[in-house]
Chain A
C-alpha cells in the first residue's frame, strides 16, 4: 500500500486567502514627498529585512535578489510581491509585510527607493491538530512542528495520526537547498498500521524513506530510497488461506523515481491543464527480500467547454514485474475499484480473489471520462454554491495477473478482456485545496464473477480520484 506524505499542510506556506486567480498588488505606502511618479525610472538602493531572529541571512538573499532588478515603480511593486510570496513559501514566517519608501541617508539618489520586508518569524515550536481525509477514511492528526530549527528553513515535524483504519506516527526532516527551494531533501521515519478488510489483511510498516526532490525545466522529479519492515497478518480468523500464506515479516529496500508535470490550475476539480505522473520502483537490489520492478503512471487532461463546464479525461495504469522466483507480495500488488477509482464497485473489490478476499493483481489500467457542470439553477452562486459541481462520469478498467512468459501482445489481450466499466452521475464537493467528497449514482457493468459491486448511491471521499 502507498505511504502518504506525512505533511498535513501543502508545501506552499500558510494559505492567506490569496489565489493565483485573484492576485492583487501590494499597496505602497503613500509617498511623503509626492515626487515619485509612476512611470519614472527608479533604482532600488536598499532592501532590508526587519524582524529576523534565528533565520540566517544568506538564506534570504536569494529570495529577495530580484527586487534589485526593478526599473520602475510598478516593477518594484510586482517584484516585491513576488519576493514576499517566495519568503512565505519558505514556511518560516508567519507574516511578511512590504514597505516601499524613498531612499534616505547620505548616498540616497533622487530616484532611489528602499524596500523593507517586515517579517514575523514563526515560533520555534508549534503544535497542530488537523483532521485528514484520505482515500475513504478519516483520521485525527496531532502534530508538533519545529520550523526553521537551524535557521535555513529546515523543518522537523512529528506527527501522530489516529484514524478509522490506520494508526501511525512519523518523524520527518526537511531541508531545502539555499536559493532553490524546489530542490530539497526529506527524511522520514515512520510506523504505519493499516487494516484492509477487502483482503482480510492487516499490515504494519516501519520504515525510513529518504527523498530528494528537484525540478528540471517544467518537470518535478523525486528520487527516493525507502527501507520498510513489513508485517502482514490476517484480519480475521476467516481469512482465506491465500492471504494467510502471505502473513509474516518481510523487508523491502527500494529505489524509486517519480516525474510529475502538472499544469493544472488546481489539484482538486481543475478547470484546465494536464497532469502527467510516472513512477518507477526497483526493489531488491539494495537489500531486503522483496524483489520487483514496478511501474505506474497517471494522466489527466482537462478542458473547459461551453457554459462553465469542464471535460476531464484520465488514465491510470501500472505493472509489477517480480524479479526472481518469488511472486510479488500482496502488499505490493495493485488494487482497483471503489469510489475513488472505478465507481460502482466496492472498495478494491475487483480482480483476483480467493474466498471473498481480494488479492490484487500484477497489472491494471483504469480510465475515466468526466463532465463537470455547475449545479443546476446555480444556487448560492458566487459563494457556497461554487464549491459544488454536478458530474457525469464513465469509468472503465481491468486488473489481472499477467503470465510474464508470453509476449506483450498476450498481455494486452489479457488486459482487454473482462473490462469492468460503469457510468452514472453525482455531486462533487470541494474541500479546500486538498480533498473532495462525492455522492454518485452508479451503474456498474461488465461485472465478473467475484467482483463486489456497489450499485446505486455511492459516497466517496479522498484526495486522488480517477
Chain B
C-alpha cells in the first residue's frame, strides 16, 4: 500500500471506538523480559492508563517477532497493530470513545479535551482527542519532544548498552533471560545473534567505545536534566501528565525495581529525590487507583533475577 493509502486507512480505523478487547503484547514477564523492553512496555501502559484507555497485557514468548517493527510493546486494537510509544501516541490522538444518540452518554475519559462533531445521522459524536499534550502550546510541545528524544537517546541506549555490551551483565542476566523460552541449541544461537545485532547498532551510533563508567555518567547527566525540568512540579508540564511523563516513569521505575549485577544505575536515580517522588506519585495515581481483584501492584514490577 502506498503511504497515502496507509494513512487514509489508519485514519478510517482510528475513527472507530476503542474496543473492549484491546491488548498489549510484551515478552514473558517472569523469565524473559529484559530491562529495556520492560521499560518501554511500562511507558506505554502508563500512557494508556493516563488516557483512561483500558488494555489487557498479554505476555508472549514471541512478542518481539510478532511486532510489525520488531520492537516491543505493541498493541492490537480492533484489527490494527501498532508498536512503540511514538506511533501509539499518534494512533490514539483521534479515537472515538463516546457517542450520544439519545440513549445518553457512554463513558469516556474526563481528562481530555472534547470536540463535538455531527455525523450523518444527526447524533452527536464525541471525538476524543486523546492527546494528553493538547494543553501545551507550541514551545512546550517542542520542549516535550526534545526531552522525549533525550530519554530515548540516553536512557534507552544506556539500558541497551548495559544489557548487551557489558559482558558480565550479558552473560549472567541478559542472555539467559532472552533465550529462556527456546530449546537448546536455538537459545544460544538467538541470544548471540541478538547480542551481535545490538553491538553493531552501538558501534553505528558511536557508543561502542564507551566504558561502563562513561555510560553511568551519561545516565546521571540525563537524570539531572530531567530533575531540573521537573523541579517541584507534579508532572513535567502543568498539572496534567503527558506522554513525556509516561516515558520517564516507564524507564525510571523499571531501573529502580530491576536488579542488575550492580546497583550503580538505580543509585544514580535515587540521588534525585524529586524523580523518586515523581515515580511514586504516578504509580500511586495510575497503577493503584482501581481496587480490581487480582491487580497486584507488584505485578507491574519486572521480576528480579
Where the two chains meet, the residues of A that have a C-beta atom closer than 8 Å to any C-beta of B are 229, 232-234, 237-238, 241, 244-245, 247-251, 287-289, 355
Contact = CB atoms under 8 A, between A and B. Distances in A.
Interface stretch (B59-67, B164-172, B235-243, B272-280): B59-67
Interface string B162-205: 00000000000000000000111010011000000000000000
B62 A289 contact: no
Contact of A287 (B60, B66, B79, B184): B184
B212 interface: no
A359 to B, nearest CB: 16
A249 B68 CA distance: 15
Given A241-B76, A244-B81, A249 B66 contact: no
B66 A245 contact: yes
A251 B189 CA distance: 11
- Interface size classification for chain B: 10 to 19
Those 10 A-B pairs whose CB atoms lie nearest each other, nearest first: A248-B62, A248-B65, A247-B65, A251-B186, A289-B183, A247-B66, A244-B66, A251-B183, A288-B183, A229-B186
Interface in B66-87: 66, 68, 76, 79, 81
A241 B1 CA distance: 18
Which label, helix, strand, loop or mixed, suits the secondary structure of the A interface? strand
B79 A355 contact: yes
Contacts of B68: 234, 237
A241 B81 contact: yes
Interface of B: 1, 60-62, 64-66, 68, 76, 79, 81, 182-184, 186, 189-190
Nearest to A251: B186
A285 B183 CA distance: 12
Given A237-B68, A244-B66, A249 B79 contact: no
11 contacts: A232-B65, A241-B79, A244-B66, A249-B62, A249-B186, A250-B186, A251-B182, A251-B186, A287-B184, A289-B182, A289-B183
B10 to A, nearest CB: 11
Contacts of B1: 237-238
Contacts of A244: 66, 81
B25 to A, nearest CB: 9
A397 to B, nearest CB: 31
Given A245-B66, A288-B183, A289-B183, 14 more contacts: A232-B65, A237-B1, A241-B76, A241-B81, A244-B81, A245-B62, A248-B64, A248-B65, A248-B66, A249-B182, A249-B190, A251-B183, A287-B183, A289-B182
Contacts of B182: 249, 251, 289
Nearest to A236: B1
B33 to A, nearest CB: 15
Nearest to A245: B66
